């Protein structure tokens, strides 16, 4: 079975490590590879992978929205108009990021809670939809207001969701149960700071940082110090991968093994690229 991930850039992806470990453990003969695809080559890359007999592809930045033109959308992909997993046999697009975000909150009672989601890109929309489906009211904020408003317009069809201006989020102090960072702030190579004013953090909050490289972002470190429950971005990554694996192979992968493989791959990157 041939599987892969396409993106631009792609060299830091830990998906090959995660999926190849899962294939081996499941006794499935196959390989998962990463391909850097120039943005203008997306359609040819998808058609080429299908022609070569690939079973499926993960699709990452900057293709998640562009690829919807070439596939039939299922479930969450249809709701968000964004795809991260393609089944090339049927040309169906799925969004397993939503599943991954939901699974990340598996030991948190989200129902009836208020969540502040920072970021209106792919990760922001996926985590917002996940939290809304789990019963939370989502307050979405975004640096560029019109993008935030557009995201809320789409999301509010599926649950409670409203926009709050990014420059005024400190006004939400004391009103939030869950905080999600869905921006690249804290990611290796990006600004190392908190995505919201420090004052917002309260010990009883649950803090989820979708950034997983590094695992311990400034937000995670600060939240831990405050006594908040923290959820690591790697959980969403592993669970979106596990769901994609299930779609392609029909088998449930060993999630703990996928976690170990992803952590190992991240550690290697850290050693070779400080
Ligand atoms: N754990 C996982 O499985 C997983 C999956 C996907 C993504 N992620 C993480 O989520 C992050 C975002 O990914 P994405 O796919 O949503 O990217 P994206 O579609 O490019 O969206 C990025 C979002 O971050 C905001 N942003 C960027 N730089 C900012 C800054 N300096 N200050 C404030 N806001 C800023 C953008 O706001 P504007 O609209 O103003 O530009 C936008 O809302 C990634 O860096 C990645 O670490 C994790």
| Catalytic hit among 24, 44, 50, 64 | 64
Per the CB < 8 A criterion, the answer to whether 83 and 122 are in contact is: no
Mean pLDDT in order along the chain per 10 residues (274 residues): 97 95 98 98 98 98 96 98 98 98 97 98 96 98 98 97 98 97 95 96 98 96 98 98 98 98 91 55
**What is the rounded distance in angstroms from the CA atom of residue 143 to the CA atom of residue 180?**
14
CB hemisphere CA count around 60 (13 angstroms): 20
Per the structure, how many domains does the chain have?
A: 2
- Residue minimizing CA distance to atom 19 of ligand 1: 121
- Residue minimizing CA distance to atom 47 of ligand 1: 211
**What is the rounded distance in angstroms from the CA atom of residue 255 to the CA atom of residue 258?**
5
Q: Do residues 114 and 223 both lie within one domain?
A: yes
Q: Do residues 151 and 92 both lie within one domain?
A: no
What pTM, to 2 d.p., does this model score?
0.96
In terms of DSSP H, where are the helices of 27-140?
A: 42-51, 75-80, 96-104, 122-133
- Expressed as residue numbers, the domain containing 167 is 100-232
CATH number at residue 34: 3.40.50.10860
245 lines ligand 1 (CB under 6 A): no
Q: Do residues 227 and 239 both lie within one domain?
A: no
| Cα(186) to centroid(ligand 1), Å | 10
Please give the pLDDT value at position 269. Answer: 83
- Residue minimizing CA distance to atom 48 of ligand 1: 210
Atom of ligand 1 nearest to the CA of 61: 15
Residue 64 among the catalytic residues: yes
| Cα(122) to centroid(ligand 1), Å | 7
Say if residue 43 is preceded by a cis peptide, omega within 30 of 0: no
């Amino acid at each position: 079975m041939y599987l892969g991930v396409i993106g631009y850039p792609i060299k830091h992806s830990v998906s090959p490590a995660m999926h190849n470990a899962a294939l081996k453990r499941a006794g499935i003969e196959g390989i998962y590879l990463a391909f850097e695809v120039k943005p203008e080559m997306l359609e040819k890359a998808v058609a080429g992978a299908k022609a070569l007999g690939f079973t499926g592809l993960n699709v990452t930045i900057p293709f998640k929205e562009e690829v919807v033109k070439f596939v039939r959308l299922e479930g969450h992909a249809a709701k968000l108009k964004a795809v991260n997993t393609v089944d090339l046999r049927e040309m169906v697009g799925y969004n397993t990021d939503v599943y991954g975000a939901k699974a990340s909150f598996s030991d948190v009672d989200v129902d009836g809670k208020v969540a502040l989601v920072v970021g209106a890109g792919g990760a922001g929309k996926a985590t917002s939809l996940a939290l809304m489906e789990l019963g939370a009211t989502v307050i979405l904020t975004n640096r560029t207001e019109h993008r935030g408003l557009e995201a809320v317009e789409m999301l509010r069809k599926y649950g409670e969701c409203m926009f709050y201006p990014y420059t005024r989020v400190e006004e939400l102090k004391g009103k939030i149960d869950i905080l999600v960072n869905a921006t690249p702030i804290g990611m290796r190579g990006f600004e190392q700071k908190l995505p919201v004013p420090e004052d917002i953090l309260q010990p009883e909050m649950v803090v989820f940082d979708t950034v997983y490289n590094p695992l311990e972002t400034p937000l995670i470190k600060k939240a831990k110090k405050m006594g908040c429950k923290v959820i690591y971005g790697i959980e969403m990554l592993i669970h979106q991968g596990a769901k994609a694996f299930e779609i392609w192979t029909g088998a449930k992968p060993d999630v703990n093994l996928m976690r170990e493989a992803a952590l190992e791959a991240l550690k290697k990157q850290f050693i070779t690229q400080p």
